[in-house]
Structure 1
Amino acid sequence: MPKRVLTGTVVSDKTDKTVVVKVERRVKHPMYGKIIRLSKKYHAHDEGNEFKEGETVRIEETRPMSKLKNWRVIERVNTHATPAKQDVA
């Protein structure tokens, strides 16, 4: 059976060897038809503590590592960051 792979944003990296990844998905509301965003947080294993808050990462389902950790971080997703705004005085 293939492992599930999800893409999300790291929202917390405070714990040792663990990051919390928020995965958002877009779903059509069954009654009103409006597209809404649903999100869920996953605890993922990060062996080297290399992923920081705000980064976009790809996570993969794995064996249970603790009570909450069933995922591990595969890689960082390269996103084009917008340049910082410059103050013009």
Structure 2
Amino acid sequence: MEQTEEHTEEHVDEPADEPDEPTVDRNDRKERIGVVESAKMDKSITVSVRRQMKHPMYGKYLERSSTFMAHDEEDEARRLVEIIERAK
């Protein structure tokens, strides 16, 4: 009788190039347009963004504003600027 050699191949898990889970696309970042209130700080500005909202009971349109701090590396901000959110 002939002896046969059995070859056992060990299966090694190799990292896959692509992940098994589908990637989730990020939402678009919010972009706001506002008026520069203060540019006195070094490399920073304060921007006021105005919006209109309707009063829930009376229906009158009210003007609301929010104030944001923004980075201005070259201190070149003018009167009207666009603010774009970035990932932290």
**What TM-score range do you get, normalising by the shorter chain?**
0.5 to 0.7
Q: Which residue of 2 aligns with 1:57?
A: 81
TM-score, with normalisation over the residues of structure 1? 0.66
Following the alignment from structure 2 to structure 1, what is the Cα–Cα distance between the partners of residues 47 and 86?
15
Question: Which stretches in structure 1 are left out of the alignment for 5+ residues?
Answer: 65-89
Aligned identity (percent) is 40
**1:31-66 deviation digits (Å, cap 9, x = unpaired):** 1100000000000011100014xx1111101244xx
Runs of 5+ unmatched residues, structure 2: 1-26
Runs of 4+, deviation exceeding 3 Å: none
Q: CA RMSD in A?
A: 1.1
Determine the structure 1 residue equivalent to 2:52: 26
Q: Highest CA radius of gyration, 1 or 2?
A: 2
When you count strand as a share of all residues, which structure comes out higher?
Answer: 1
TM, length-normalised to structure 2: 0.66
Number of aligned residues: 62
Opposite residue 20 of structure 1, the aligned amino acid is T
